[in-house]
Chains A and B, each alone.
Chain A
Amino acid sequence: MESIGVLMLIPMNTYLEQELQKRYNLFKLWTAPQKPQFIKEHANSIRAVVGNAGAGADAELIEALPRLEIVSSFSVGVDKIDLAKCREKGIRVTNTPDVLTEDVADLAIGLMLAVLRRLCESDRYVRSGKWKKGDYKLTTKFSGKTVGIIGLGRIGMAVAKRAEAFNCPICYYSRTEKSDTKYKYYPSVVELASNCQILVVACPLTEETQHIVNREVMNALGPKGVLINIGRGPHVDEPELVSALVEGRLGGAGLDVYEHEPEVPEELFGLENVVLLPHVGSGTVETRKVMADLVLGNLEAHFLNKPLLTPLV
């Protein structure tokens, strides 16, 4: 299959890159001094695009690649891909669901514990020598706090399962109520936020869920409430989040994603009630390897005219 052109948009995984290079004619977009030129030059050979959470196949790119057959994303989120255009043109789309569910859920719980029990602040306190001068202050108990989840999909359910082991009552908001769970359903995010102490964003990013956590939701969550975002930065109105935290209208936040990664609002750096992670939700050796294999497996299946492993379109 070495004559098949595959366009990789940004560096995302060395193993994936090497394997793609071995099997296909790999074009690395980030190495091009002039991207539009590069695309034009190779457009006739490119039949597949590999993107991730940071870069996907938007309308412009899809239009520039007349021979494009498949977009295989190294992520579960597909908000950077123009799915409608792919459908229109009969272009297949695959992502990497399931294999990263546990890692992301683990991180959500890690963020909850880190924010409520001030793990990172305490660690800083010890390393700065302050403990010799006095004990660290009291924090807030995590076990038993009500956890509200926006989006009860694979990741939302995995977060719920873990939180339940800490005796946390679970409630959720979803587009439709799920009849097969015993968790309490709220028909709006504001109602969910009013009735929980920790609000977790775990839904896909779409036009509808853009800024689903806005000022009203944050005010409902309140000065003792904690927001955890392991979804996408645009789920949360970031300037509103910053002012809510700075003004004390929101109790705390654990964030793995931001509106303009890798930019993170500097006003957050001085706050002790936030924990900031650099989009590492699925960033483990084990999971990234499995994700890469899934991307490779999907591409192989496509070019061998076999059923795709994890198709979305």
Chain B
Amino acid sequence: MDSITVLMTSPMSDYLENQLKDRFNLVKLWTYSSKTDFFKHNSHSIRAIVGNTKIGADAELIDSLPELEIVSSYSVGLDKIDLRKCQEKGIRVTNTPDVLTDDVADVAMGLMLAVVRRVCECDRFVRRGLWPKGDFRLTNKFSGMQVGIVGLGRIGSAIAKRAEAFGCPISYYSRSEKPETNYKYFSNIIDLAVNCQILVVACALTEETHHIVNREVIDALGPEGILINIGRGSHIDEPELVSALLEGRLGGAGLDVFENEPEVPEQLFGLENVVLMPHVGSDTVETTDAMADLVIKNLEAHFLKKPLLTPVV
């Protein structure tokens, strides 16, 4: 299939890049110094895009590639892809669900434990040689804390399953109630925030869920509450989050995503009740390889006119 031209939007995985190079005619968007330059050379040959959480396929890109047939995202989140335009033009879209569920749920649990038990602060305390001067202060117990999940999809359910093993009662907010679970449902996010101690964002980013965690939700979660975001930065009103933490209106936060990655509000750096991660939710060797394999398999299936493995559109 090396006559088929595939566009990779940004460096995301050496393994994936090599696999694409072996099988297709690979064009790398980031090697072009200007958009015009890129479009001049490639617009009529590109039949597939491989995007990720940084650069997907927006309307401009889709419109400029008349031969585009499929967008295969190296992510489960689709917020960087203009799905409507793809639907309009009959362009297929695939993502990488399931294979990264465990990793992201693990990071959510890690963030909860790290914030509540101050794991990173304690590690800093030891490495700075402070322990001989006195013990670290007491933290709070994690087991049994009420966990509220925004979005009870694959990742949300995986988080719930793990948290339950710590005796955490689970509640959730979702667009619709899930009768197959016995977790407590709240029909709106404020009620969820009022009734839990740890609020986890685990839903898809859409127009509706943009800033779903706003000042009102943060205040409802309160000075003893903890916010965990393993969704997308734009799920949370970031400036509001920062002031809530600085003013003590929110008890703590564990964040893997931010509104303008890789920018992270520097006012958070001095806080000991936050844990900050550089969007590593699915960044393990095992999972990234599985994600890459899924991207390749979807592309191959498409060009061999076989059913797509994980189609979204």
Interface set of A (CB-CB < 8 Å, partner B): 102-103, 105-107, 109-111, 113-114, 117, 119-120, 122-127, 131-132, 135-136, 138-144, 161-162, 164-167, 261-264, 269, 275-280, 283-288
**Residue pair B117, A106 in contact (C-beta under 8 Å):** yes
**Residue pair A165, B269 in contact (C-beta under 8 Å):** no
**Residue pair A138, B277 in contact (C-beta under 8 Å):** no
Check if B136 is an interface residue, CB within 8 A of chain A.
yes
Number of inter-chain CB pairs below 8 Å: 174
* Cα–Cα, bound, A166→B162 (Å): 6
**Residue pair B119, A277 in contact (C-beta under 8 Å):** yes
Q: Which residues of B contact A110 (CB under 8 A)?
A: 110, 113-114, 117, 119, 142
Residue with the highest number of chain A CB atoms closer than 10 Å, among B107, B109, B122: B122
Kindly identify which residue among B110, B261, B285 contacts A113, using a CB–CB cutoff of 8 Å.
B110
Q: Interface 1/0s, chain B 160-178, versus A by CB < 8 A?
A: 0110111100000000000
Q: Shortest Cβ distance from B52 into chain A, in angstroms?
A: 11
Check if B40 is an interface residue, CB within 8 A of chain A.
no
| Nearest opposing residue in chain A for B284, CB measure | A141
**Residue pair B110, A106 in contact (C-beta under 8 Å):** no
* Cα–Cα, bound, A106→B117 (Å): 9
| Nearest opposing residue in chain A for B101, CB measure | A143
Once A138-B285, A164-B165 are accepted as A-B contacts, the answer to whether A103 and B141 lie under 8 Å apart by CB is: yes
| Nearest opposing residue in chain B for A274, CB measure | B123
**Residue pair A136, B143 in contact (C-beta under 8 Å):** no
**Residue pair A117, B110 in contact (C-beta under 8 Å):** yes
Interface set of B (CB-CB < 8 Å, partner A): 102-103, 105-107, 109-111, 113-114, 117, 119-120, 122-127, 131-132, 135-136, 138-144, 161-162, 164-167, 261-264, 269, 275-280, 283-288
**Residue pair B161, A165 in contact (C-beta under 8 Å):** yes
A107-B119, A276-B126, A279-B135 known, 20 other contacts, Cβ within 8 Å? A102-B141, A102-B143, A107-B117, A109-B113, A110-B117, A111-B119, A113-B107, A119-B119, A125-B278, A131-B262, A135-B279, A138-B284, A162-B162, A276-B122, A277-B122, A278-B135, A278-B136, A283-B135, A283-B136, A285-B141
Q: Shortest Cβ distance from A302 into chain B, in angstroms?
A: 27
**Residue pair A142, B164 in contact (C-beta under 8 Å):** no
Q: Which residues of A contact B141 (CB under 8 A)?
A: 102-103, 106, 284-287
Kindly identify which residue among A135, A143, A144, A280 contacts B122, using a CB–CB cutoff of 8 Å.
A280
* Cα–Cα, bound, A288→B164 (Å): 23
**Residue pair A165, B164 in contact (C-beta under 8 Å):** yes
Kindly identify which residue among A106, A140, A269 contacts B286, using a CB–CB cutoff of 8 Å.
A140
Once A113-B110, A117-B106, A278-B135 are accepted as A-B contacts, the answer to whether A135 and B278 lie under 8 Å apart by CB is: yes
Of the A-B pairs whose beta carbons lie under 8 Å apart in the complex, a sample of 17, sorted by A's number, is A105-B143, A106-B113, A111-B119, A142-B103, A143-B106, A165-B161, A165-B165, A166-B162, A167-B102, A262-B132, A263-B132, A264-B126, A276-B122, A276-B123, A278-B136, A283-B139, A286-B140
Once A122-B277, A123-B275 are accepted as A-B contacts, the answer to whether A264 and B131 lie under 8 Å apart by CB is: yes
Q: Shortest Cβ distance from A240 into chain B, in angstroms?
A: 20
Q: Shortest Cβ distance from A227 into chain B, in angstroms?
A: 16
* Cα–Cα, bound, A213→B279 (Å): 35
Q: Shortest Cβ distance from A117 into chain B, in angstroms?
A: 6
* Cα–Cα, bound, A243→B122 (Å): 23
Q: Shortest Cβ distance from B245 into chain A, in angstroms?
A: 14
**Residue pair B119, A126 in contact (C-beta under 8 Å):** no
Q: Shortest Cβ distance from A257 into chain B, in angstroms?
A: 12
Q: Which residues of B contact A109 (CB under 8 A)?
A: 109, 113, 166
* Cα–Cα, bound, A132→B119 (Å): 24
Kindly identify which residue among B107, B109, B126, B264 contacts A278, using a CB–CB cutoff of 8 Å.
B126
* Cα–Cα, bound, A9→B213 (Å): 49
Residue with the highest number of chain B CB atoms closer than 10 Å, among A119, A140, A285: A119
* Cα–Cα, bound, A166→B159 (Å): 9
**Residue pair B283, A136 in contact (C-beta under 8 Å):** yes
| Nearest opposing residue in chain A for B111, CB measure | A119
* Cα–Cα, bound, A216→B278 (Å): 37
Q: Shortest Cβ distance from A228 into chain B, in angstroms?
A: 13
Kindly identify which residue among B103, B109, B278, B286 contacts A122, using a CB–CB cutoff of 8 Å.
B278
* Cα–Cα, bound, A136→B280 (Å): 8
Once A143-B102, A262-B132 are accepted as A-B contacts, the answer to whether A127 and B123 lie under 8 Å apart by CB is: no
